[in-house]
């Protein structure tokens, strides 16, 4: 979280490039290099945004009462069933928050994307880079439209977090 | 018959219990902090792994070992045919009452599951709650549902940790009678932990007195709780009409 995005992007570019054995192994495994590809962009974004997902996930799973876990175990739930039927549903709001926060963070990300993916139309050109290019070309009308799309996506995502966090009713005495 | 040999330390608290519960219905009576809940959790197979693992534990039900630290045996909570109901009902808040009661019946076919759920809810006088969510239940209703959920898998060992604390006296007594009858019919060895002498005396069962982690007496309720009975009688006679 504390690493500047451009620095992380640079490290990933070097790591996934042909100069390292890891990069060469990945290239031979996939048949193409990860750098300057959409897949590489996804890998870089996951690494960069994961810390922002971890915090709500930890908070969500920690908030599940241990008594509920004990009850499920006593009723014969396997680990998989415990996770599927108790932990995930009870932490669903945190899962949604984690997904939305990561999405928003990734959508606005610039440094890792540009460093690792370049600016290849149809492959690694993201909305944020499009917006940057439009401003650089003094095409403010197009930049306004792109910014509006990004703004709408952010508002939609924030609404999703807000709605998923609304209480569903109180406990009766 | 339930055989227990247990030695566990948690900070300054030392639980040391060696006994045999020969009755089908045993009440562990003791004040708060005596170690009742800790003992029940060990019997249920909870807290048997690090860091809360007891120094020594041997628990056997009808001759079958559930836990034996000397040989490294410890059946998982779900594999001990044991159910437990605590004061905190711990109903799954996202599931309906029916789904809560059915949770432990995953290996039972659908039609049998539905009839078992209805039967158990009927037993605890909670049939009308079947479609409700836990958040819509009162404390007493939630405890009834938790009981139904614990009974549904037909456990061989039923552990009750003050499970009727949210019910009023009459409702609690009536439910205890039903529970005792159910446990006898289904041959479920039951251990009820309580600090309420009236609960202990009402069941007229074998009573084990637990004090500061030690069993100080075990025997028929009338004998073990003679002092408690006298105290209760005195208190009742002193109360104005």
CB atoms closer than 10 angstroms to residue B25: 22
The span from the CA of A64 to the CA of B5, in Å, is: 33
The span from the CA of B201 to the CA of B14, in Å, is: 27
Nearest to A74 among B83, B93, B137 (CB): B83
B237, β-bridge pairs: none
The span from the CA of A152 to the CA of A167, in Å, is: 25
Tokens 């750098």 identify what position? A35
Average pLDDT on B173-181 reads 89
Cβ-proximal residues to A136 (8 Å cutoff; 6+ apart), any chain: none
- Sign (positive/negative) of CA torsion A26, A32, A33, A39? negative
Highest CATH level, class, for A5-164: mainly alpha
pTM: 0.81
Give me the pLDDT at residue B23, please: 86
Least confident range of A107-121, B60-74, B106-120: A107-121
**Prediction ipTM score:** 0.88
Give me the pLDDT at residue B240, please: 60
Cα distance from A159 to chain B (closest Cα, Å)? 22
Average pLDDT on B108-117 reads 92
Give me the pLDDT at residue A170, please: 37
Assign A125 to helix, strand or coil. Answer: coil
Residue in chain A closest to B155 (alpha carbons) equals A75
Q: How confident is the model at residue A70 (pLDDT cuts 50, 70, 90)?
A: very high
User: Between B74 and B232, whose confidence is greater?
Assistant: B74
B203-224 pLDDT tens trace: 767 899 999 999 898 888 888 8
Give me the pLDDT at residue A13, please: 86
DSSP string covering B23-46 = SSEEEEE--TTSSHHHHHHHHHTT
Which ranges constitute the DSSP H helices of chain B? 36-44, 97-102, 110-123, 139-151, 169-185, 197-203, 221-224, 226-238
Does the pLDDT of residue A168 top 60, yes or no?
no
A144-153 pLDDT tens trace: 999 999 999 8
Cα distance from A56 to chain B (closest Cα, Å)? 20
Assign B192 to helix, strand or coil. Answer: strand
């Amino acid at each position: 979280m504390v690493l500047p995005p451009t620095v992380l992007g640079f490290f990933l570019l070097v790591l996934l490039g042909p100069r390292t054995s890891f990069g060469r192994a990945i290239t031979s495994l996939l048949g193409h290099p990860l750098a300057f590809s959409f897949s590489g962009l996804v890998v870089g974004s996951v690494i960069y945004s994961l810390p922002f997902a971890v915090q709500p996930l930890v908070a969500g799973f920690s908030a599940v009462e241990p008594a509920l876990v004990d009850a499920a175990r006593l009723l014969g739930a396997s680990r998989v069933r415990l996770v599927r039927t108790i932990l995930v549903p009870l932490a669903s709001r945190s899962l949604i928050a984690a997904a939305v926060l990561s999405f928003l963070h990734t959508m606005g990300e610039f440094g890792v994307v540009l460093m690792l993916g370049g600016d290849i139309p149809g492959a690694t050109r993201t909305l944020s880079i499009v917006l940057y290019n439009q401003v650089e070309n003094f095409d403010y009308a197009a930049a306004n439209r792109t910014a509006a799309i990004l703004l709408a996506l952010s508002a939609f995502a924030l609404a999703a977090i807000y709605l998923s966090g609304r209480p569903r009713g109180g406990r009766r005495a | 018959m339930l055989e227990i040999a247990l030695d566990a330390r948690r900070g300054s608290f030392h639980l040391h219990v060696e006994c045999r519960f020969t009755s089908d219905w045993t009440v562990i009576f003791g004040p708060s902090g005596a170690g009742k809940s800790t003992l029940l959790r060990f019997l249920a197979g909870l807290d048997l792994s690090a860091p809360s693992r007891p120094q020594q534990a041997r628990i056997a039900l009808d001759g079958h070992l559930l836990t034996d630290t000397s040989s490294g045996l410890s059946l998982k909570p779900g594999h001990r045919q044991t159910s437990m109901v605590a004061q905190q009902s711990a109903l799954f808040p996202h599931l309906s009452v029916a789904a809560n009661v059915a949770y432990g019946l995953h290996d039972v076919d659908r039609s049998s599951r539905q009839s078992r759920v209805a039967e158990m809810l009927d037993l605890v006088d909670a049939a009308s709650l079947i479609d409700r969510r836990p958040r819509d239940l009162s404390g007493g209703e939630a405890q009834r549902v938790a009981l139904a959920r614990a009974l549904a898998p037909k456990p061989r060992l039923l552990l009750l940790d003050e499970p009727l604390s949210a019910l009023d006296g009459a409702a609690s007594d009536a439910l205890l009678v039903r529970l005792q009858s159910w446990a006898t019919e289904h041959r479920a060895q039951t251990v009820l932990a309580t600090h309420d002498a009236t609960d202990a005396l009402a069941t007229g069962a074998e009573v084990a007195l637990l004090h500061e982690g030690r069993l100080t007496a075990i025997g028929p309720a009338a004998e073990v709780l003679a002092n408690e009975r006298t105290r209760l009688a005195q208190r009742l006679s002193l109360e104005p009409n």
